[in-house]
Amino acid sequence: MKSLSLVTGANGHLGNNLVRNLLEKGIPVTASVRNIANKQPFEGLDCKLVQADIMNKKSLINALQGVETFYAVGAAFKLWAKDQRKEIYDVNMQGTKLSIEAAKEAGVKRIVYVSSIAALNYATLPAKESNGYNPDRRNWYYNSKNDGERLAFELAAKHNIELVAVMPSAMIGNEAFGPLNVSYNILALILKKAIPVETNITLNWVDVKDVAEGLYLAASHGRSGERYILASEKCMSIKETTLLAKELYPELKIKQPTAVPKSILFTVAWLMETVSRFTGKAPQMTVNDVAMFSGLQQNFDISKARKELGFNPTPPRQAVIAAMQYLMANKERLF
């Protein structure tokens, strides 16, 4: 019988796709979630569902009993919060620490740690693993992925656990299980004609099912102590993505976002953030987004993941088309 795997954050976009990927391969899976009452993402799946929280080491130790491969997917995945250090950075750092300590106490042999392309240095393009970590410290989510990945390697070495890190980009696909993630929401905004101005922001789209397969490949073939980019080679701007939406759905009459000076972008972002501080809802754009990402090219060298893991992602245009078709087919439920 194949060895047992645990997936944290199993009701999330990546986590749920990973659970399904492993089950299709005949691998027994324990799926951990914070709220065990939400069983909808697991309907029809032959997996064990347990309650565990990355901020509660005892719950993790209990969930990890008998587990050989631990897929550490669960994390705070958001770019904005009222208290970003507390709600994003501290959660991801403490969650990383407790997850690896729990793995040690439960006798886990191997961890696939989900980091992010946020943990890459973009100084030289295409960015690659050997470029080191991102020196830009202006975003608490980015800081948490850079510092969290380094902490994961440090603790895994200390506790003599094999650990492989993977760095996904903007995950979409032809199906979403659970609430839409940040990346899907950008596509939804385009389809709802809710992006009125050109931001000059790019995204590196990747099919979440390819990333889920990449995690399995990292567990099977990845070298302990190494990091692998799970992304596409080329990014697409929001402008290019909007043009694709116009091509697919001319009946929506989607307009190309209006080009405006960067000073206007900063003003719009500031106003959005000001409103969000009162409502508690994430703004569509922040001042930090404009400062960090406007004009940034997210192109990657994925030759290491191709060669060592066998990672072979769907072309980004194809992934975007599939995701938009899914959103449009389910717009009454998702929009």
- What does the pLDDT read at residue 177? 78
- What does the pLDDT read at residue 178? 67
pLDDT digits (tens, 9 = 90+) for 266-324: 998 999 999 998 998 889 889 999 999 999 999 999 999 999 999 999 999 999 999 99
The answer to whether 195 and 268 have CB atoms below 8 angstroms apart is: no
Mean pLDDT of 230-255: 96
Mean pLDDT of 39-59: 95
- What does the pLDDT read at residue 74? 96
pLDDT at 1 over 60: no
- What does the pLDDT read at residue 78? 85
Within a domain: 116: yes
Residue 229 β-bridge partners: 167
- What does the pLDDT read at residue 333? 76
pLDDT digits (tens, 9 = 90+) for 78-99: 888 889 999 999 999 999 999 9
Percent of the chain with pLDDT over 90: 85
Residue 20 is given by DSSP the state H
Within a domain: 72: yes
Percent of the chain with pLDDT over 70: 99
**Residue 83 domain boundaries:** 5-179+205-231+300-318
- What does the pLDDT read at residue 224? 98
Mean pLDDT of 134-157: 96
* CATH assignment of the domain containing 225: 3.40.50.720
pLDDT at 76 over 60: yes
Within a domain: 256: no
Average pLDDT, the chain: 94
- What does the pLDDT read at residue 173? 93
Tokens matching residue 129: 């693993």
82: buried, middle or exposed (CB in 10 Å: 19+, 13-18, 0-12)?
exposed
With b meaning 16 or more CB within 10 Å and e meaning fewer, what string describes 211-238? Answer: bbbbbbbbbeebeeebbbbbbbbbbbbb
Within a domain: 292: no
Q: Rg of the chain's alpha carbons, rounded to an integer?
A: 19
Mean pLDDT of 88-114: 97
pLDDT at 186 over 90: yes
Within a domain: 138: yes
Q: What is the Cα–Cα distance from 299 to 319, expressed in whole angstroms?
A: 16
Q: What is the Cα–Cα distance from 264 to 92, expressed in whole angstroms?
A: 33
pTM for this structure?
0.95
pLDDT at 242 over 80: yes
Within a domain: 335: no
- What does the pLDDT read at residue 80? 85
Within a domain: 295: no
**Could you tell me the pLDDT band of residue 164, with boundaries at 50, 70 and 90?**
very high
- What does the pLDDT read at residue 157? 98
Mean pLDDT of 122-142: 95
Please count the structural domains in the chain. Answer: 1
Within a domain: 323: no
